[in-house]
Amino acid sequence: MYAYRLENVTIPTMIIAGTGKFDSETVTPLYKMEDMFEQLNTDVVMARLSNNVDHGAVLYEANGYVIAWLDYYLKGIETNGTAFFGNEAEIKNNTRYQDFTSQKVK
């Protein structure tokens, strides 16, 4: 379908989508997100916004975690890693998100 090979990705990757109809049925249904997650051999986080947000609004809804992710990897702010990794990952307990999973390989 798409001309990319996720198994060749070597940088940390964040996969975020909405649960609205367009995301869930067309662009990024959960089964596609799970497949992408399984193919990645790097640090990866996957989550969906649980408040029926659709594709075009994800940019505005997920920005706090996106900033934390970028600061963690680009600025080296180690405390931000607790938002995504470990048994007590902060995003796991955030009711605005669902279907969260992560892997830390580096």
**Res. 1: pLDDT tops 90:** no
| Residue 14 β-bridge partners | 45
**Mean pLDDT of the region 5-31:** 93
The three state secondary structure string of 13-24 is: EEEEECCCHHHH
- Provide the domain limits for residue 10: 6-103
How high is the pLDDT of residue 58?
Answer: 85
Q: Tokens 């367009």 appear where?
A: 22
Each residue's pLDDT tens digit, 19-53:
999 999 998 999 999 999 999 999 999 999 998 88
Give the CA dihedral 25, 26, 30, 31, nearest 10 degrees. 100
Q: Is 34 helix (H, G, I), strand (E, B) or coil?
A: helix
Q: Would residue 30 count as lying in a domain?
A: yes
Residues whose CB falls within 8 Å of the CB of residue 49, separated by 6 or more in sequence, listed in order:
16, 17, 18, 19, 58, 61, 62, 96, 97, 98
Each residue's pLDDT tens digit, 48-106:
999 888 888 887 877 899 999 999 999 999 999 999 999 999 999 999 999 999 999 96
CA atoms of 52 and 11, how far apart (whole Å): 29
How high is the pLDDT of residue 89?
Answer: 96
Number of domains in the chain: 1
Tokens of 92: 């796991």
Q: Would residue 1 count as lying in a domain?
A: no
Name the pLDDT band for 2 (thresholds 50, 70, 90).
low
The CATH number of residue 25's host domain is 3.40.50.1820
pTM for this entry: 0.88
| Residue 102 β-bridge partners | 45
How high is the pLDDT of residue 106?
Answer: 66
CA atoms of 105 and 93, how far apart (whole Å): 22
How high is the pLDDT of residue 32?
Answer: 94
